[in-house]
Structure 1
Amino acid sequence: MMPNQYFINPLIFAIDILFSCYILAVMLRLFLQWVRTDFHNPVAQFLITITQPTLRPLRRYIPPIGNIDTACITLLLILALVKLAIIASLTFGIPSLFTLLMASIGDLIGIGFKILEIAIIFRAVLSWVMPNSYNPALIPLYYLTNPTLEYIRNFIPLVSGIDLSPIIALFGLEMLSMFIDPLFPHFI
């Protein structure tokens, strides 16, 4: 017999937040590996410290494929599957494995888009508040956002000294997210 809805919604909220925070840390680590950031940075060291205990055992059995950290991707998928299986079981029952897998992939894609969007917003705000400042904790932010913003800057030059690439990147990411999101089932 399931507890009443009064207790289920806060429980779902807590499970979603806890899993999503750890998924965020693992995904940030993966993104920073892809953009080849300096891992001597304090932020990168923090991500390594909190993700290493779960990644170390997976790396014994799942080798990387070229530059792709398959252990990290596997961990992300496992975390998303477990999160959505728990949430689904609390609300309406566990769906099929295929539905769970598709929902997990959609959830991870959504989190990836949000990471990039928030990083771009954060970088744009920092460029207004602290232009030309150096902070070692911000270096991963620049590594993370540079590929997207530099690509856009190749097509859209500065307009009267104003860089429009963050606005265009956010617009593009949100549009892409709107096209991709409906392709996946959702439990939350």
Structure 2
Amino acid sequence: MGSNVDNALFFLVSTLFKLAIWVLILRVALQLVRADFFNPVSQLVWRLTQPVVGPLSGIVPRYRQWDLAGVLVLYVLAVLYIYAVFAILDYRVGLLPALWLGLLSLITMTLMLLTFSIFVQAILSWLGPGVNNRAGSVLWSLNEPLLSRIRRIVPMVSGIDLSPLVAILLLQVFYYLVPLHPVLR
């Protein structure tokens, strides 16, 4: 991959796949944490993913609060992402390595999405503490299960909640522990 056209194509394809995967991760995660469905952010995620996941919802059953149709579409899209990246790089990849790399890429993208959402939630809390906005409530629903567990261990220091900082640090450690090829990060 040497030419600027190849680099631009790689960037474009990689970015579009990652955005689609992040939206699908959000769909699954928001249903998993039982976020407010009527929130405009939740509605946006739902409407963006419904044309792809909706037809499968009638075929693939739910398991408790797990949207298995969404998980299936998410995994298939991650494997397609692996094949697309390797095709652009002019490499061949077998089915089993693609399935494994697809799973690893889903793990890393989920960790990055959680890191980003906690970071944005922390910034929003500094800009308007106590202000309830639509994005903030969705972020709170998404991040609170993790942050509340960290708050039990890490106490507040001078009235400052350090749980977002600890969570971001831990998520980044886990991110770098996943054995994924640097091209796919």
Q: 5+ residue gaps in structure 1? A: none
The residue number in structure 1 matching 2:86 is 88
Identity, % of aligned pairs?
33
Which of 54, 62, 65 aligns to 1:64? It is 62
Contact 1:23–1:76, Cα closer than 8 Å, also in 2: yes
Q: Greater shift after overlay, 113-122 or 89-98?
A: 89-98
Shift of 1:92: 2.6
Shift of 1:136: 2.2
Shift of 1:4: 7.0
- Does residue 28 (structure 1) correspond to residue 26 (structure 2)? The answer is yes
Contact 1:84–1:100, Cα closer than 8 Å, also in 2: yes
Shift of 1:187: 4.5
Which of 11, 14, 19 aligns to 2:12? It is 14
The residue number in structure 2 matching 1:78 is 76
Shift of 1:68: 1.7
What is the rounded CA distance, in whole Å, between the counterparts of 2:124 and 2:57 in structure 1?
A: 36
What is the rounded CA distance, in whole Å, between the counterparts of 1:185 and 1:165 in structure 2?
A: 30
TM-score where L is the length of structure 2: 0.93
What is the rounded CA distance, in whole Å, between the counterparts of 2:182 and 2:2 in structure 1?
A: 22
Contact 2:124–2:136, Cα closer than 8 Å, also in 1: no
What is the rounded CA distance, in whole Å, between the counterparts of 2:152 and 2:2 in structure 1?
A: 55
What is the rounded CA distance, in whole Å, between the counterparts of 2:172 and 2:4 in structure 1?
A: 33
Contact 2:42–2:138, Cα closer than 8 Å, also in 1: yes
The residue number in structure 1 matching 2:39 is 41
Which of 144, 154, 160 aligns to 2:142? It is 144
The residue number in structure 2 matching 1:133 is 131
TM-score where L is the length of structure 1: 0.92
What is the rounded CA distance, in whole Å, between the counterparts of 1:178 and 1:103 in structure 2?
A: 15
What is the rounded CA distance, in whole Å, between the counterparts of 2:182 and 2:147 in structure 1?
A: 30
CA deviation profile, 1:107-145 (whole Å, cap 9, x unmatched):
111110011111111111111111110112321111011
What is the rounded CA distance, in whole Å, between the counterparts of 1:62 and 1:94 in structure 2?
A: 31
- Does residue 52 (structure 1) correspond to residue 50 (structure 2)? The answer is yes
The residue number in structure 1 matching 2:108 is 110
Q: 5+ residue gaps in structure 2? A: none
Runs of 4+ in 1 over 6 A off after TM superposition: none
CA deviation profile, 1:4-54 (whole Å, cap 9, x unmatched):
733221111111111111111111111111110111000000011110000
The residue number in structure 2 matching 1:159 is 157
Equivalent residue letter for 2:73: L
What is the rounded CA distance, in whole Å, between the counterparts of 2:71 and 2:150 in structure 1?
A: 27
What is the rounded CA distance, in whole Å, between the counterparts of 1:4 and 1:174 in structure 2?
A: 30
Equivalent residue letter for 1:21: L
Q: For the structure 1 residues 185 and 137, does the alpha-carbon distance in structure 2 shift closer, same or farther, using more than 3 Å as the test? A: closer
